[in-house]
Every structure is written in C-alpha cells, then in structure tokens.
Amino acid sequence: MNKSYITNTIALGLALVGYFLSQDILFSVGVFALSGAVTNVLAIHMLFERVPLLYGSGVIPSQFEEFKRAIANMMMTQFFTDENIDKFLSQGDGQAVHFDFSNVIQKVDLEPAFNSLVQTIEESSFGSMLAMFGGSEALQPLKQPFIDKMQTSLLNISEQDAFNELVREQLEQPNVIRGMREKVEAIINQRLDELTPQMVKDIIQQMIHKHLGWLVVWGGVFGGLIGLVVALLSRFL
C-alpha cells in the first residue's frame, strides 16, 4: 500500500480522535503530523507538476533541456574520458587487453582472397602450367580448405599478445580516441533527443515515488513530534 496514503490516514485519524475526544495533545500530534506529511507530498508533486502561483513548481518538465544536457555532460566527462578509455583498452597490469575477434573473422568473406591467389598464380610463370591442368577451375576444390585455413590462421594471430598490443596502440592514437568520443557523444545525444519531457517525467517519477515515499512518512513522524512538544509546552507553560 502507498506509504503516503497510510501516513496521511494515520495523521488525520489522530487529529480527528483528538478533536472529538478533546485530547489536546493527541490533536496537536495529529495536526502537525498531517501538516508535515502533506507538505512533503506537495513538495514531491511540485517536482513534476506546475502548481498555480507557486514559483519553481514543475521544475523537471520546465528544465527538460538542461536535464538532457546535464546527462550528456556527465556521461562524457565521468565515463568516456581519455583515461577511462585507456583503462578499458588495458588490463590492470598495463598489458594489452585481448579483444575477441572470432565472431568478426568468422563473418569475413575470404573468397576474394582466394580469387586473388588464383589470379596471382595465373599471372605468374605457373600460369601456363596451370592451364595444362584445366586452368583456374582446377583450383576450385581448394577454395573451402583455403578459407578454413585462413580463418584458423587469422584467429591464431588475433590471440597473440603482439597483435593485441598493436591494436591497442592504434586505438590509443589521439585522433582515434577523439573519433571514438565523438561517436559515443553522437549516440548519447541521438538517444537523448528521442526522449520526451513526458518520458523523463515518468522515469524519474517512478523512481522518486518508490524511494521518496519515506519522505512523507518521516515528515509525518517529525511533524507529530513537533506537535507533541508544542502541546506539552502549551500545557506546562
């Protein structure tokens, strides 16, 4: 059940019981608790909705563009810095991180490499000899074994430390890192541009209502304590 609803109901109940039973202390506790809880409910509501005559209400929708810029700036200055990119490209001991190129290599079409090999043979001194055995068609049964061997060789090369170190060195070039940052920033800005004020409002509202419901509870508790102190002071002074 909603924490705000429970808190307000209890506070209102205490105020009503205190009023009808002429219990000043109980009435004061209930009124102050209700005041504290309702004030916090209103404060949370004012984050998302404009309230007439209340300056500063509806701050999240009204500051939507600034909110987007703050997110983009935070992502670029806190996460995608040159230092963080360098850490990503290196392991903790400073060695080159091993990139997994297996999926890429398996998807690469190596048939043009085989065709280039065949063309090279045809244009070499072995061309006339190859023609005696049926020309380039005689080499076609070797195409798939050649592709398989090439893939295996490329996979072995990609797993070597020296190769990964070369990749890292190239990625760490200033112009490459700058290009990576620009692409990441473009992706972030593109995604943020797809957001609408209502989407941002819903995202934050769900989070705040889930976690800030305790503000209403504690507003009621402290308001009740203040009411208790006021009632006791008014009775004994």
| Domain residue ranges of the chain, discontinuous segments joined by + | 3-98+159-236
Q: For residue 19, what are its two tokens?
A: 């009023």
Highest mean pLDDT among 64-73, 143-152, 184-193, 194-203: 143-152
Q: Report the distance separating Cα 203 and Cα 209, nearest Å.
A: 10
pLDDT of residue 168: 72
Kindly indicate the confidence band of residue 90, based on its pLDDT and cuts at 50, 70 and 90: low
Which one has a higher pLDDT value, 129 or 111? 111
Q: For residue 190, what are its two tokens?
A: 């593109």
| pLDDT for residue 62 is more than 60 | yes
Q: For residue 28, what are its two tokens?
A: 């004061």
| Section 153-166 average pLDDT | 80
Kindly indicate the confidence band of residue 94, based on its pLDDT and cuts at 50, 70 and 90: low
Q: Kindly give, in sequence order, each residue whose CB lies less than 8 Å from that of residue 113, ignoring residues fewer than 6 positions away.
A: 146, 147, 150
| pLDDT for residue 234 is more than 70 | yes
Burial class from Cβ neighbours inside 10 Å (0-12, 13-18, 19+) for residue 222 reads middle
Highest mean pLDDT among 27-41, 114-128, 204-218: 27-41
pTM given for the model:
0.48
Kindly indicate the confidence band of residue 49, based on its pLDDT and cuts at 50, 70 and 90: confident
Q: Give how far Cα 34 sits from Cα of 4, 10, 17, 69, 234, Å.
A: 10, 8, 13, 38, 20
Kindly indicate the confidence band of residue 212, based on its pLDDT and cuts at 50, 70 and 90: low
pLDDT of residue 116: 87
| Section 122-140 average pLDDT | 76
- Helix, strand, coil shares, percent, the chain, to 5: 80, 0, 20
| Residue 53 φ/ψ region, left for φ over 0, alpha for ψ in the -120 to 50 degree band, beta for the rest | left
Kindly indicate the confidence band of residue 19, based on its pLDDT and cuts at 50, 70 and 90: confident
Q: For residue 3, what are its two tokens?
A: 């924490």
Beta strands in 160-213 (DSSP E): none
Q: Kindly give, in sequence order, each residue whose CB lies less than 8 Å from that of residue 176, ignoring residues fewer than 6 positions away.
A: 170
| pLDDT for residue 91 is more than 60 | no
pLDDT in tens, 173-211: 777 777 777 888 888 888 777 777 777 777 776 766 666
Place of tokens 């701050």: 59
pLDDT of residue 32: 92
| Section 142-146 average pLDDT | 86
